[in-house]
C-alpha cells in the first residue's frame, strides 16, 4: 500500500466521525513485521532530520504535532522515537498537565498559544487544548455550556495558526482497553516505570466508555482540511511509531521547506 493511501486511511475525513469502534487498534500499519518496521523507521527518521534542517534554515514556517490518546497509549514512546531524528535546536516537546490556578484564571487557550511553535520549529504537544474538551467533559470539571463551545473555538484557533504559517497535524493514538490494562499493570510491576502511574489512571480507566464517546465526538468535530486528525493504531509500539513519523514526514514534504540562497559561492578555503 502506498504511503498516501495509508495516510488517507488513517485520516479522519472532515465532517465525519472517526468511527473508532470500527478501527482496529491492533492493526500493523506500514510494515508487516517488527524487523521490517524498524528498518523503515530508521529511513523515515533520517528523512525527517533532513526536512527539519531545511525547515529550521528557512525559518519562515513551523509544524505543530498534537498527540492525544488514553493513558498508556504511547505518547511518550512516540516522542522518544520520532525525536531521535531531530536536531534539539529547533524542536520542543510541550506537555500539558492539569491547569494551575493561574492558568484556570484565564481562557483555556491562554497557556496553549504562548507555547505554539515559532517559525522554523517543530513542536510536539504531549496532550493539548483537547484536554479542555475531553477531560473536562468526562470528569465533569465544567458544564456542557462551557466545553461545548470549545469545538468552535479550537477550529478557529487552529485556523489562525495555519493561516499564519504553522502546519497543524493531530494524532490520536488508538489503544485497546485490553492493551491498556497490560501496560498499566506493567507500570505498577516495574520499579523503573512505577513513577508514571497515577492513582487517577484507574479512575480514568473506569471511565473508558465515556472517554471513547468524548474522543469520537471531538475528532469528528475538529478534523478539518487545514488541521486534520489521524487515528493511529497503537497496540503495537513499532508500527505506531512508524505511522506517526510517516505522518510528520508527509506534513513536512507538503510544506517543502527551502534552504536559503547561499550567501557565498563555494570556494577553497586556504
CB of 201 to ligand AMP, least distance (A): 7
Using Cβ positions, the residue closest to ligand AMP within the complex turns out to be 131
Site string (134-173) toward ligand AMP, x via CB under 6 A: -xx-------------------------------------
Cβ–Cβ under 8 Å, residues 180 and 155: no
d(C-alpha 121, C-alpha 55), whole Å: 7
Residue 11 C-beta: closest distance to ligand AMP, Å:
25
Of 88, 111, 87, the closest CA to residue 98 belongs to: 111
What is the bridge-based pairing of β-strands 91-95 and 122-126?
parallel
**What span, in angstroms and rounded, lies between the C-alpha atoms of 175 and 186?**
15
List the Cα angle 70/71/73 in 5-degree steps.
70
Interface pattern 166-205 for ligand AMP (x via CB under 6 A): ----------------------------------------
Task: State the binding partner of 127 from Mg ion, ligand AMP, none, CB within 5 to 8 A by kind.
Answer: ligand AMP
Integer Cα distance of 140 and 203 in angstroms: 13
Phi and psi at residue 13, in whole multiples of 5°? -65, 135
Residue 77 CB, nearest approach to ligand AMP (Å): 13
CB of 111 to ligand AMP, least distance (A): 8
Name the binder of 148 from ligand AMP, Mg ion, none, CB < 5-8 A by kind.
Answer: none
| Host H or E run for residue 200 | helix 199-206
Single out the segment in contact with Mg ion by CB under 5 A; choices: 6-14, 65-73, 99-107, 210-218: 65-73
Other beta carbons within 10 angstroms of residue 135's beta carbon come to 18
Kindly identify the residues of this chain, within the stretch 45-104, that bind ligand AMP according to CB under 6 A. 96-99
Nearer to ligand AMP (CB atom), residue 61 or residue 240: 240
Cβ proximity to Mg ion: between 92 and 205 the closer is 205
Q: Identify whether the C-beta of residue 219 lies closer than 8 Å to the C-beta of residue 172.
A: yes
For Mg ion, which is the closer residue by CB, 69 or 220? Answer: 69
CB of 75 to ligand AMP, least distance (A): 7
Sign of the dihedral through C-alpha 168, 128, 8, 74: positive
The binder of 99, among ligand AMP, Mg ion, none, by C-beta within 5 to 8 A per type, is: ligand AMP
What SS3 class is residue 146? helix
Rounded to an integer, what distance in angstroms lies between the CA atom of residue 57 and that of residue 127? 28
Least distance from ligand AMP to the Cβ atom of residue 245, Å: 21
**Consecutive H or E run containing 173:** strand 166-174
Report the partner that residue 135 touches, choosing among ligand AMP, Mg ion, none (CB closer than 5 to 8 A by kind).
Answer: ligand AMP
**Would you tell me which residues interact with ligand AMP (CB under 6 A)?**
96-99, 127, 131-132, 135-136
**Would you tell me which residues interact with Mg ion (CB under 5 A)?**
71
Amino acid at each position: 500500500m502506498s504511503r498516501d493511501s495509508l495516510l488517507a486511511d488513517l485520516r479522519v475525513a472532515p465532517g465525519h466521525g472517526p468511527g473508532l469502534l470500527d478501527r482496529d487498534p491492533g492493526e500493523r500499519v506500514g510494515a508487516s513485521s517488527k524487523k521490517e518496521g524498524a528498518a523503515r523507521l530508521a529511513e523515515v527518521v533520517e528523512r525527517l532530520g533532513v526536512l527539519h534542517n531545511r525547515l529550521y534554515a528557512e525559518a519562515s514556517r513551523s509544524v505543530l504535532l498534537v498527540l492525544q490518546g488514553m493513558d498508556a497509549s504511547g505518547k511518550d514512546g512516540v516522542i522518544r522515537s520520532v525525536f531521535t531524528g531531530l536536531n534539539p535546536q529547533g524542536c520542543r516537546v510541550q506537555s500539558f498537565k492539569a491547569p494551575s490556578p493561574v492558568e484556570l484564571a484565564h481562557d483555556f487557550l491562554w497557556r496553549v498559544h504562548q507555547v505554539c511553535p515559532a517559525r522554523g520549529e517543530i513542536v510536539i504537544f504531549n496532550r493539548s487544548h483537547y484536554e479542555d474538551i475531553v477531560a473536562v467533559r468526562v470528569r465533569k470539571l465544567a458544564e456542557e455550556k462551557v466545553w461545548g463551545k470549545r469545538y468552535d473555538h479550537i477550529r478557529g484557533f487552529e485556523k489562525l495558526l495555519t493561516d499564519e504559517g504553522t502546519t497543524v497535524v493531530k494524532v490520536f493514538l488508538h489503544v485497546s482497553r485490553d492493551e491498556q490494562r497490560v501496560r498499566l499493570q506493567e507500570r505498577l510491576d516495574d520499579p523503573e516505570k512505577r513513577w508514571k502511574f497515577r492513582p487517577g489512571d484507574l479512575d480514568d480507566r473506569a471511565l473508558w466508555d465515556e472517554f471513547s464517546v468524548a474522543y469520537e465526538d471531538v475528532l469528528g468535530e475538529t478534523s478539518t482540511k487545514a488541521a486534520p486528525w489521524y487515528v493511529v493504531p497503537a497496540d503495537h509500539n513499532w508500527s505506531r511509531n512508524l505511522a506517526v513519523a510517516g505522518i510528520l514526514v508527509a506534513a513536512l514534504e507538503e510544506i517543502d521547506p527551502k534552504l536559503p540562497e547561499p550567501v557565498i559561492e563555494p570556494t577553497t578555503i586556504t
